[in-house]
Amino acid sequence: IHYDLEFYIIALVDIWCYLYFTISREEASLKNREAQTTWDGKKHSLEHDPRFHGEGLEDNDRERLFNEHTEDLYQKRLKSYHELLSQHVKLDTTWIEIQPVIKEDPRAVRLSKNEALLEELFDKYLAREIEKAKKEFLELLKENQFIEYRTRMVQLSENGAKDETGAEKEKARGLTKEEIHDVLKEDNRYLVLNHMPEVRDEFITEYLNNFEAPKMTVHQGR
């Protein structure tokens, strides 16, 4: 049993090394839609190497090792591709603009030679970055105490807050959009949306419209 396990481990190591040095020279992504990098497409050429027939390895072991290895390479190359995009892409960048810039970069070439796939991955990357920027800008609005305080005062005055004499308090003046922009303009979460000012304005309007002031206490209503 001891020797069988040892042979099995050696066989696993041999075939992993073979896969690493063979597939690393080619398109490694299982998701690049090219048949030669699927197990069925690559199996025939791998069978010519003696290490492929390592003792103790079943065919499903070989396929599993192949899939794990190609997926690992794909994820590493996808990460490098995202790093490449982060160096050149802004939130309003289009594929037509970025494609000539990155097409010869090894981080794009090594991921895939399929331009349609690279464009699809670019679109997904950009969509995630836009959603991230929107989320962070909303968080910026919510955490700014000055904006939150002024907005709350406006809502309380509109809800009929009264002073100590019982007279209704003078209605507080709300912040204008220009004033809100001025308060936030130095924060990077604001600046990253410079290329999408209409989105930024929509978020400010949405925040003001949906802001919920705390319910008035007995003291506040007097």
Least confident window among 10-19, 75-84, 150-159: 10-19
pTM: 0.63
CA distance linking residue 86 with residue 92, whole number of Å: 13
Identify which has the larger pLDDT, 2 or 110.
110
Least confident window among 6-15, 80-89, 122-131: 6-15
Residue 52 near residue 95 (C-beta atoms within 8 A): no
Q: At what angle do helices 115-143 and 95-102 cross, to 10 degrees?
A: 120
Domain parsing of the chain, residue ranges: 2-134, 144-210
Q: What are phi and psi of 162, to 5 degrees?
A: -120, 155
Q: Name which of 12, 124, 22 is nearest 73 in CA terms.
A: 22
The partner residues of 162 in beta bridges, in order of sequence, read 168
CA distance to 213, 215, 222, per residue, from 142 (Å):
12, 18, 28
The total number of residues written for the chain in this structure: 222
For residue 162, the SS3 value is strand
CA distance linking residue 184 with residue 140, whole number of Å: 8
Q: What is the pLDDT of residues 180-193, one digit of tens each?
A: 889 899 999 999 99
